[in-house]
Amino acid sequence: MARYIFITGGVVSSLGKGLASAALGALLQARGFTVRLRKLDPYLNVDPGTMSPFEHGEVFVTDDGAETDLDLGHYERFTGVSARRTDTISAGRIYSNVLERERRGEYLGKTIQVIPHVTNEIKDFLAIGEDEVDFMLCEIGGTVGDIEGLPFFEAIRQFSQDRPRGQCILMHLTLMPYLAASGELKTKPTQHSVKELRSIGLQPDVLVCRSEHPIPDRERAKIALFCNVRPDSVIPAYDLKSIYEAPLAYHRVGLDRAVLDAFQISPAPRPDLRRWEDVNDRLTNAEGEVRVAIVGKYTQLEDAYKSISEALTHGGMANRVRVRPEWIDAEKLEQPDGVHLLDGFHGILVPGGFGERGTEGMVAAAKYARERKVPYLGICLGMQMAVIEAARNLAGITDAGSEEFDHEAGEERFTPVVYHLKEWVQGNSRVERKITDDKGGTMRLGSYTATLAPGSKISEVYDGASEMEDRHRHRYEIDARYREPLEACGLWFSGMSPDGRLPEVVEVKDHPWFIGVQSHPELKSKPFAPAPLFRDFVRAAKDLERMV
């Protein structure tokens, strides 16, 4: 049966609970333990799939098709453990499940209440798969004191009491602000945050204190005294140049040791940190730099493209170069001479997105890369815009467009080379969708296989493989009816769904490196196992940088 580590936060949001959880998971793995990480979000959305990227950042997709918080991306990147649908839950999903059960009469006419019905639903979620791993790390979103988070805190209190003594611990992240006027680090916010936790029956076993300044031993002792934790369980967390320094940094200050001590695991297995030492060596000893333009719709918030940014970093590590991504608002390329914003870049990447805004700028970016022989990687919408560009400028379909941008106008407005996907095969069953369906959870989601053409660039990227498997998140597809005229102009449909109906990969034949994929390969990239497409894209950018 798994041991449980509950990770909570206090004082302010965005302290780095997700990163601390992921780093701790990596450290426990380094000591030979198996781990699984989970996220419990108190918001009332069923999942983040319908949230604006400006509101919530990236939506991370699992192999089994769950739309999740971006923290699950951190978990995968640090541990290599593929997240599942059962690794994420929101208050909205919890309440939805409870209400569905009530409508079915499963509560036998009882009055439905937060305690015990909502808290029992949360506890049932926590117990899923508890016999599969040594440690289950469960992060609670938000901060202690948030009204919507109270059922989750009560649930983990009950859960800890239900389990044998010593099977559950609580790790709490707080902020230690520095007052420049007095030259002091202040412990009072941490004390109040712990007091809030204790008032609802939760006592931290490990405190992780974020600070921009070194925390003196006397301040750690003060926190330990007032917060009722051991002095060596007060762990400082300082700002880092790269998130991938976190496992080694947390190990140096004793986080993994404090957690194992809290479980009374002694003697603990010695950690093997060679993986993370190699990762940091590649980060700090880069042998050059490449500039990559990311032409997107949500460039004001980098978290909207978190996995893209991290996958580029991984590709740089694989090639011993530093990747300098520069975010370019696609709408700016729609201005006269706007494409000159792309001058001087060694690679152009157009990521996914939804809606018409900025798409003509993406088409312009694809044309620029194709004509000037700049390495181009189009992901999801980025692939679709590359196909529209080729249809207009190579195949003579001058009114080529996407049904997404005006599905009511149909072919009267343009020729829809990109159309709304009405049905597809998932596993052994057929999935059907209508344009009028609800937005949430109705896309083509999760991991799908693509068959790769022999001798193609994409097959070469995947070491000569005949198939690749990546995650999808979209409701529009390239219309395969336009395959023949486009291939006659040099745009090769080099990857197709196994049934041959859905284009998965396109590439320009007479180009050094121009690939578009309908999937999201960035979601499976890791610092110690870079996504092949990003690894090779950065290599191509590096080759161009050397030629310039």
Of the listed 58, 67, 139, 522, which one is catalytic?
Answer: 522
Catalytic (active site) residue 130: no
Q: Is the peptide bond preceding residue 116 cis, with omega within 30 degrees of 0? A: yes
The residue among 218, 215, 216, 190 whose CA lies nearest residue 204 is 190
- What burial letters (b/e) apply to 361-380, b meaning 16+ CB within 10 Å? bbbbbbbbbbeeebbbbbbb
Q: Where are the beta strands (DSSP E) in 243-371?
A: 289-296, 322-329, 347-350
Task: Reduce the secondary structure of 101-117 to three states and give it as a string.
Answer: HHHCCCCCCCCCCHHHH
Contacts (Cβ under 8 Å, ≥6 apart) of 332: 338, 341, 361
Contact 321, 539 (CB under 8 A): no
Supply angle C-alpha 143, 146, 152, rounded to 5.
80
Residues in a beta bridge with 253: none
Quickly tell me which residue has 């792309």 as its tokens: 342
- Catalytic residue check, 380: yes
DSSP letter assigned to residue 91: H
Q: Do 511 and 501 meet the contact criterion of CB atoms below 8 Å apart? A: no
| DSSP bridge pairs for 448 | 470
How far apart, in whole angstroms, are the C-alpha atoms of residue 50 and residue 59?
A: 9
Tokens representing 95? 């309440």
56 is catalytic: no
Q: Is the peptide bond before 231 cis (omega within 30 degrees of 0)?
A: no
Phi–psi pair at 142, nearest 5 degrees: 75, -165
Among the listed residues 74, 117, 511, 520, the single catalytic one is: 520
The encoded tokens of residue 404 equal 């997404």
Helix axes 91-103, 150-162, angle to 10 degrees: 80
CA distance 68 to 307: 13
> What span, in angstroms and rounded, lies between the C-alpha atoms of 410 and 401?
10
Which residue in the list 138, 209, 227, 380 is annotated as catalytic?
Answer: 380
Q: Between the CA of residue 287 and those of 9, 284, 533, 546, what are the distances in Å?
A: 39, 9, 21, 12
Residues known to be catalytic = 380, 520, 522
